Structure 1
């Protein structure tokens, strides 16, 4: 249950959405000309997409920032104030690179290279560090780490350096409060449940997922749930968490998005399958900057199926906005020439 976001890549053949041609800032249904449909009146979104030719493109709402051939799962972060894009990629030897792209000059700089993997990039409030999920070749666990943009060195934040069982499945950096929300679990427990299920020929039971929140190395466990949980995000005021939970029976999966009160530890389902869409099992729900909207990814009814250059296929993804006051959803970002890989709300 290593919930690294490349789960989707393995399942969907690295088909992440891309735009062939310009992105238009308009409302309506996407047409067959490969242009994205972006609705107005929402937060600016940073979206990564990969087209059927496996070209990854990064968009700041309707503006394409950069494109290159896909070499690793597209993890990224944007310094909007200084117009710098940070992202990861692999070289021909499959070694990870952390890049900085100056969007004004288009100069691309390698900040770090090594055998470790990195995903889920977040830029710190003071713009001096990048927080990311770290995977090492010699470990079965994933860690929360911090990369110093000045010294070009990374530091382990969680779990402890000598820990070999406690693994970070997902995390979120809340820039407003300068703290984290984090999901973690026992690798031993996960392996045990998987092995037992394989022996009996049944679906595995979900591993116990622990929720934690706090600043830096002072993360405190909040509660735990025995559910399949893909991701987590925190509201700007730090009072609520939102996450994707899903059930699995054979090849059938059903996802829902749940809201948890940090103080009471109680959670409730707020988004399930609707008449127009079905949330993805990695819906990546995130709050708007004012906390009134939750953005998430779903598969729209009748979504177009695309095939990449390897012959594998997946369905188009759409970003929706759920309004907490009205409990209504609206489509805010879609492109039917590709599949959205991941996105974030620009701070």
Structure 2
């Protein structure tokens, strides 16, 4: 996976290419941002990472900028609301991953870890003692779930087993309410095989089988397997409903939909598809609102503004929408026309 492009890396590469490059470092403190439109549901708060054409990444809590910095890697971050601490990653000139802790009250930044590993999808544990993240190593083809102890400043492997070089985690979600995980995982060997076959025949690749699993650190139960391109996962507070983005691919054309899986019955259905007013991203990052009545997701609005960064790469502005499960209505929730949203989390 480190030296060749496989099917499940397409999502990561597309996300990075659609955003902008990141480098250097600067902090501007808190400010309210002009041009940001926020209309969340039932008092929900969103933590949003967005990068502008000057390659500056800003972190928002709703419409308030809590930090900004030119980064060297795709942003991964988590917020401790109680202590007002932002955890985030960035690379140095040697391309080493660094994990930072930023005290938002004092603006004091501390580097917690530096290493050759890659880290994304940060989640703060329920007791705020641990950062869970997706771990990648240069000498391994698969990705793992790992836990970084904020006291000892060391991490340990959670899944798969240390000796397992084939099972790879493509996406995971940590549910703070139940202190549990949901994840998507797949076989690296199968992924390579299907990619090679497609390249040899000059055809579109077949999707690698994606396995859904859920549980706690020591025990994961398999829920379902699907032969689909699937890019992300999230769960409801009670772990009963699982959201994921599925997409089809024909040549360069990709069509996404947001699905919901019932964890008990193992049945799933399409909840959100493309509308006249927007087009779903293949990494739509669907998440439930705090009351479970709405789904937040990423899409490109019709007529979305196109931005170009200083490297010449172009991308369309992304918008966070909400979908009301009862009324089946859509609403624009978070938008900033001056940058590209990288990712977001529901935090309250």
TM-score range, shorter chain: over 0.9
Match of 1:342 in 2: 343
Q: CA deviation at 1:253?
A: 0.4
SS of structure 2 residue aligned to 1:2? helix
Match of 2:275 in 1: 274
* Count of equivalent residues: 335
Match of 2:13 in 1: 7
Match of 1:212 in 2: 213
After TM superposition, the runs of 4+ consecutive aligned structure 1 residues lying more than 4 A away are 20-24
Q: CA deviation at 1:101?
A: 0.1
- Consecutive unaligned residues of structure 2, counting only runs of 5 or more, are 1-6, 23-27
1:36 equivalenced with 2:36 (yes/no):
yes
After TM superposition, the score normalised by the length of structure 2 is 0.93
1:76-95 mapped onto 2 (5 Å cutoff): 76-95=77-96
Note if contact 2:245-2:256 (Cα within 8 Å) is conserved in structure 1.
yes
1:129 equivalenced with 2:135 (yes/no):
no
Q: CA deviation at 1:199?
A: 0.5
CA–CA distance in structure 2, aligned partners of residues 183 and 23 of structure 1? 37
Q: Which string of whole-angstrom CA distances, capped at 9 and with x for unpartnered residues, describes residues 292-339 of structure 1? A: 111000010000110011001010000001111111111000111111
Q: CA deviation at 1:288?
A: 1.2
Q: CA deviation at 1:70?
A: 2.2
1:188-267 mapped onto 2 (5 Å cutoff): 188-267=189-268
CA–CA distance in structure 2, aligned partners of residues 253 and 336 of structure 1? 24
CA RMSD of aligned residues (A): 1.7
Match of 1:113 in 2: 114
Note if contact 2:11-2:282 (Cα within 8 Å) is conserved in structure 1.
no
Match of 2:103 in 1: 102
Q: Which string of whole-angstrom CA distances, capped at 9 and with x for unpartnered residues, describes residues 42-97 of structure 1? A: 41000001111111110111110111112111000000000000000001111000
1:163 equivalenced with 2:164 (yes/no):
yes
After TM superposition, the score normalised by the length of structure 1 is 0.93
CA–CA distance in structure 1, aligned partners of residues 329 and 294 of structure 2? 10
Q: CA deviation at 1:6?
A: 3.5
CA–CA distance in structure 2, aligned partners of residues 107 and 6 of structure 1? 31
CA–CA distance in structure 2, aligned partners of residues 310 and 280 of structure 1? 23
CA–CA distance in structure 2, aligned partners of residues 142 and 193 of structure 1? 19
- Consecutive unaligned residues of structure 1, counting only runs of 5 or more, are 25-33
Note if contact 2:125-2:179 (Cα within 8 Å) is conserved in structure 1.
yes
Q: CA deviation at 1:11?
A: 3.0
Match of 1:30 in 2: none
Q: Which string of whole-angstrom CA distances, capped at 9 and with x for unpartnered residues, describes residues 180-224 of structure 1? A: 000000000000000000000000000000000011121111110
With over 3 angstroms needed to count, the CA separation of the structure-2 counterparts of 1:224 and 1:169, relative to structure 1, is same
CA–CA distance in structure 2, aligned partners of residues 120 and 151 of structure 1? 21
Q: CA deviation at 1:5?
A: 6.0
1:326-341 mapped onto 2 (5 Å cutoff): 326-341=327-342
SS of structure 2 residue aligned to 1:139? coil
